[in-house]
Amino acid sequence: MTRIKIGIIGSGGMARHHLTRFTSMEDAKVVAIASRNEETGTQLAKEHKTAFIPEWARLIERDDIDGIVICTHNDSHGKIVLAALQADKHVFVEYPLASDVGAGEAALKLAEERHRVLRVSHPEAVSNTHKALKQKIGELGDLLLTSFVRLTPGRGARPEILFNLPVSGIPAHFFIYHIYPIVDFFGGAASVKKNAVYEGLKENGQYDRFVNTLIVEFKRGGIGQWTWAGGIAINAAEEHERYVLTEGTISDAGGNWHCITPSGVVPLSISDSPQPTLQELWFSEIRDAADQPPNLEDAAVALEAIRISLGFGE
Ligand SMILES: NC(=O)c1ccc[n+]([C@@H]2O[C@H](COP(=O)([O-])OP(=O)(O)OC[C@H]3O[C@@H](n4cnc5c(N)ncnc54)[C@H](OP(=O)(O)O)[C@@H]3O)[C@@H](O)[C@H]2O)c1
């Protein structure tokens, strides 16, 4: 089998994660790592016996690369995705797809025109829990309300850079992996009302305490309510997610999904069948794209998720 040649952009936590996955795949060849951070970039390239390039634009223009894996901070995803597609590369990008809707729309259009695979790293595509939820939701009638509430005493055990407005966007945007599923289940939004309040917002874009809410009206009917309050006075973190449908409710508190109907409460049945990794899925899509147009349904869900996370139509 011919090997798929890839280049990685970024040399932080996710770049390291993806590199480990790709280097364990027999049909992958990591040609080079591009990073603005020479120290971590050269170190990672050395560990994986591959080349280091300081500028991502030089990586993208190389002819010996089929696909680009983008692991930079959120504010640069859109422009790197567009540049990679313009150079006829397949793209695997860490979520979010982009930090403005226009760039996301342009990316889907380019991927379609240029016949390139555009995969955003949303793990639902390979998640048994997501598949079980989608099936159960399909059996329980129409959506009335989907509700997600997260309360955290600290801002969250996440890297500092996430809580930086210009770099990462609002909490709903960098926490977009809680919005992608509701788009996949219920489709697009007719309107989104966004509210975000920050305390201790500094000139460099960092902040201490925040409350961010979204109220979504879905085109197909039903309301979505999404809230994260961080840095608040509370003893321990709480998180609760619910899908309230006309025939029953699916609820998760503490990682235990239950389905509640007039006949009782039953745990959600989740298969443990093995799933491909996202990296393997991307490779199979690249191979399929040799003789058929790439399937961009998942990228379209990722695009609608950024429309909602950014409060489009508020
Ligand atoms: N899929 C998941 O489970 C998951 C989990 C966590 C994060 N993420 C997403 O993955 C992305 C990367 O997160 P991370 O945790 O790996 O961050 P990280 O450890 O801070 O690494 C980011 C890397 O990208 C580089 N970089 C950032 N902006 C750049 C730009 N404009 N041009 C060139 N290089 C740039 C950084 O260089 P410097 O060292 O110079 O800053 C660093 O090497 C984020 O979008 C994040 O939201 C996904």
Answer whether 56 contacts ligand 1 (Cβ < 6 A). Answer: yes
Nearest CA residue ID for atom 6, ligand 1: 14
Average pLDDT, stretch 69-84? 98
* pLDDT over 70 percentage in the chain: 98
Answer whether 96 contacts ligand 1 (Cβ < 6 A). Answer: no
**Tokens 């902040």 identify what position?**
207
Going by their DSSP bridges, the two strands 189-199 and 143-152 should be labelled as unpaired
Residue 25, pLDDT above cutoff 50: yes
How big is the chain, counted in residues? 314
Residue 33, pLDDT above cutoff 80: yes
- Domain edges within the chain: 4-123+276-294, 128-267
Q: Long-range contacts: 214-217, Cβ < 8 Å, 24+?
A: 214/172, 214/179, 214/308, 214/309, 214/311, 216/182, 216/189, 216/191, 216/192, 216/308, 217/189, 217/190, 217/191, 217/192
- Domain topology for 4-123+276-294: Rossmann fold (3.40.50)
Answer whether 99 contacts ligand 1 (Cβ < 6 A). Answer: no
Nearest CA residue ID for atom 20, ligand 1: 12
Answer whether 54 contacts ligand 1 (Cβ < 6 A). Answer: no
Contacts of 65 (CB under 8 A, 6+ apart): 5, 6, 7, 31, 32, 59, 89
Determine which helix (DSSP H) or strand (DSSP E) holds 264, and give its type and residue range: strand 264-267
Nearest CA residue ID for atom 26, ligand 1: 72
Ligand 1 centre to CA of 93 (Å) is 11
CATH architecture of 128-267: 2-Layer Sandwich (3.30)
Residue 251, pLDDT above cutoff 50: yes
- Which pLDDT value is given to residue 154? 81
Among 96, 143, 146, 145, residue whose Cα is nearest residue 122: 96
Residue 1, pLDDT above cutoff 90: no
- Which pLDDT value is given to residue 273? 96
Give residue 80's pLDDT band: very low, low, confident or very high (50, 70, 90): very high
Answer whether 212 contacts ligand 1 (Cβ < 6 A). Answer: no
Amino acid at 226: W
Nearest CA residue ID for atom 13, ligand 1: 14
- Which pLDDT value is given to residue 314? 45
Answer whether 171 contacts ligand 1 (Cβ < 6 A). Answer: no
What whole-number distance in Å separates Cα of residue 231 and Cα of residue 282?
37
Atom of ligand 1 nearest to the CA of 174: 47
Q: Render pLDDT for 111-139 as a digit per residue (tens, 0 to 9).
A: 999 999 999 999 999 999 999 999 999 99
Nearest CA residue ID for atom 33, ligand 1: 36
Residue 54, pLDDT above cutoff 50: yes
Answer whether 10 contacts ligand 1 (Cβ < 6 A). Answer: yes
Residue 51, pLDDT above cutoff 70: yes
Ligand 1 centre to CA of 16 (Å) is 10
Q: Which residues pair with 143 in a beta bridge?
A: 245
Nearest CA residue ID for atom 9, ligand 1: 94
Give residue 312's pLDDT band: very low, low, confident or very high (50, 70, 90): confident
Average pLDDT, stretch 59-84? 98
Ligand 1 centre to CA of 307 (Å) is 21
- DSSP states along 127-149: -HHHHHHHHHHHHS-SEEEEEEE
- Which pLDDT value is given to residue 156? 65
Q: Render pLDDT for 157-213 as a digit per residue (tens, 0 to 9).
A: 666 889 999 999 999 999 999 999 999 999 999 999 999 999 999 999 999 999 999
Answer whether 76 contacts ligand 1 (Cβ < 6 A). Answer: yes
225 and 215 Cβ atoms separated by less than 8 Å: yes
Ligand 1 centre to CA of 34 (Å) is 12
Nearest CA residue ID for atom 10, ligand 1: 94
- Which pLDDT value is given to residue 255? 74
Residue 155, pLDDT above cutoff 80: no
Answer whether 277 contacts ligand 1 (Cβ < 6 A). Answer: no
Atom of ligand 1 nearest to the CA of 13: 16
| Probe target for ligand 1 pocket from 9, 14, 76, 162, with the most ligand atoms within 8 Å of CB | 14
